[in-house]
Structure 1
Amino acid sequence: MLKVLFAPLQGYTTGIYRAAHAKIFGGIEAYYAPFLRIENGHPRERDLRDLETPAGVPGSPRVIPQVIANSVEEFKILADALLQKGFTEIDFNMGCPFPMQVNRHRGSGLLGDTQAVQAIMGEIARQSATETARFSVKMRLGQDSPDEAFALLPILNDTPLTHITLHPRLGKQQYKGAIDIKSFEKFYRECRHPLVYNGNITDVSQINEIERRYPNLAGVMIGRGLLARPSLASEYRTGATESKFISKLFQMHQIIFEHARQTFQGDSQILAHVQSFWDYLEPSIPKKTFKRIKKAGKLSVYADAVSTLLPENQHE
Structure 2
Amino acid sequence: MVLQFTDVRNQSHIRCGLAPMEGVTCFATRLWFSLTSQPDFAMTPFLRVTKEYPWKRVSSMYAAEIFELKNAVSYKLIPQLMGTSPDDLERIATPLLSGAPFVDVNCGCPSPKVVGSRAGSGLLEDREVFAAFLEGLQQKLGHDKFSIKMRSGFLSESEFPALLDIASSIKMAQLTLHPRTRKDRYTGRANWDLIATASRECEFSVVGSGDIVDFNTLNTLKNFAPNVNTVIIGRGALRNPWIFEEIRSGKSVCISRNALLFSLATFALLHEFQAHNPLKLLELVKQGLFFTPCLTNENLWQALYSRLTTSFYGTEQPISHLCLDKPTFAKVKMIWHALRSGLGAQFMHPQLLRSRDFCEFEREFLNIAKDYNDLIPLKYHSEFDWIYSGEKRNEKQESE
Report the TM-score range of the alignment, normalised by the length of the smaller protein. 0.7 to 0.9
User: Structure 1's 69 and 228: CA in aligned 2 closer, same or farther, altered over 3 A?
Assistant: same
Deviation at residue 125 of structure 1 after TM alignment: 2.8
Q: Distance in 1 between matches of 2:116 and 2:60?
A: 23
Q: 1:30 aligned to 2:41?
A: yes
Q: Which moved more, 1:163-172 or 1:187-196?
A: 187-196
The correspondence of residues 76-225 of structure 1 with structure 2, limited to 5 A, is: 76-80=90-94, 82-83=96-97, 86-126=99-139, 129=142, 134-225=145-236
Q: Which moved more, 1:229-238 or 1:268-277?
A: 268-277
Decide which of 55, 59, 63 is 2:77's aligned counterpart. Answer: 63
Aligned AA for 2:353? K
The answer on whether the counterparts of 2:196 and 2:224 sit within 8 Å (CA) in structure 1 is no
What TM-score does the superposition give when structure 1 sets the normalisation length?
0.83
| Secondary structure in structure 2 of the residue aligned to 1:168 | strand
Aligned AA for 2:334? S
Q: Distance in 2 between matches of 1:74 and 1:148?
A: 28
Q: 1:293 aligned to 2:352?
A: yes
User: Structure 1's 270 and 146: CA in aligned 2 closer, same or farther, altered over 3 A?
Assistant: closer
| Secondary structure in structure 2 of the residue aligned to 1:59 | coil
Deviations 1:34-60 (A, max 9, x none): 1000367213988763433699xx735
| Secondary structure in structure 2 of the residue aligned to 1:243 | strand
Deviations 1:93-135 (A, max 9, x none): 1111111111111111101333433343334434554x8x732
Q: 1:269 aligned to 2:327?
A: yes
Deviations 1:196-222 (A, max 9, x none): 221112121111122233221122221
The answer on whether the counterparts of 2:20 and 2:45 sit within 8 Å (CA) in structure 1 is yes
Q: Distance in 2 between matches of 1:147 and 1:168?
A: 12
Aligned AA for 1:71? S
Q: Distance in 1 between matches of 2:171 and 2:242?
A: 33
Deviation at residue 292 of structure 1 after TM alignment: 3.9
The answer on whether the counterparts of 1:75 and 1:120 sit within 8 Å (CA) in structure 2 is no
Q: Distance in 2 between matches of 1:156 and 1:218?
A: 19
Q: Distance in 2 between matches of 1:294 and 1:80?
A: 42
Query: 1:284 is matched with which residue?
Result: 342
User: Structure 1's 43 and 252: CA in aligned 2 closer, same or farther, altered over 3 A?
Assistant: farther
Q: Distance in 1 between matches of 2:184 and 2:348?
A: 33
Q: Distance in 1 between matches of 2:44 and 2:34?
A: 14
Aligned AA for 1:9? M
The correspondence of residues 297-312 of structure 1 with structure 2, limited to 5 A, is: 297-305=356-364
User: Structure 1's 245 and 238: CA in aligned 2 closer, same or farther, altered over 3 A?
Assistant: farther
Decide which of 11, 26, 30 is 1:14's aligned counterpart. Answer: 26
How many pairs are equivalent?
309
Q: Which moved more, 1:71-80 or 1:281-290?
A: 281-290
What TM-score does the superposition give when structure 2 sets the normalisation length?
0.67
Aligned AA for 1:98? S
Deviation at residue 245 of structure 1 after TM alignment: 6.5
| Secondary structure in structure 1 of the residue aligned to 2:146 | strand
User: Structure 1's 139 and 241: CA in aligned 2 closer, same or farther, altered over 3 A?
Assistant: same
Q: Distance in 2 between matches of 1:147 and 1:71?
A: 27
5+ unaligned residues in a row in structure 1: which ranges? Answer: none
